[in-house]
Structure 1
């Protein structure tokens, strides 16, 4: 009996969404270099990287420091701004 598998490109995501959750302060230079390779310089900064072996290796090196999600597309600036709430506040009524 032969099993048929879906092709890896059809079922897999195209990008990793990588967020730096812990600081690289106090770590050796190779950990800091791996974070910079992924495009992560500050805490809570998010970077989108293509799914490939070199990216996966850098993620494995920093596995305790980063949060990783699989996504199909990179959101545009308009998508990110649309998902955020409006800035400030609005006074609706007064009880005076």
Structure 2
């Protein structure tokens, strides 16, 4: 089997999508501090971190309690709230 690795900067991921999948309760202070450094405070919280050596080191430390994906860009935040009140769509008169 032949694998081809791309060395192009455009093909490489620019961000890690890091999600906290297990709680930090019961872990030592350095593990909790590593999770907070990544911006992870709550269970199932997701943050986007740049791809660099320091971020990779923190992720490696927390590898049992986080899920990591490589992404090219940070998605825009979508307004998930519905509009308040109601609208009259049509009348039967």
TM range, smaller chain = 0.7 to 0.9
Query: How large is the RMSD of aligned CA atoms in angstroms?
Result: 2.1
- Ranges in structure 2 where 5+ consecutive residues have no aligned partner: 83-93
Equivalent residue number for residue 63 of structure 1: 63
User: For residues 1-96 of structure 1, what are the structure 2 equivalents within 5 Å?
Assistant: 6-78=6-78, 81=79
Aligned residues: 80
TM-score (norm 2): 0.76
* Cα displacement (A) at 1:7: 2.8
* Cα displacement (A) at 1:8: 4.9
**CA distance in 2 between partners of 1:38 and 1:25 (Å):** 16
**CA distance in 2 between partners of 1:61 and 1:37 (Å):** 12
Which of the two has greater helix per residue? 1
**CA distance in 2 between partners of 1:6 and 1:21 (Å):** 30
Which runs of structure 1 show a deviation greater than 3 angstroms over 4 or more consecutive aligned residues? none
* Cα displacement (A) at 1:9: 1.9
**CA distance in 2 between partners of 1:9 and 1:49 (Å):** 17
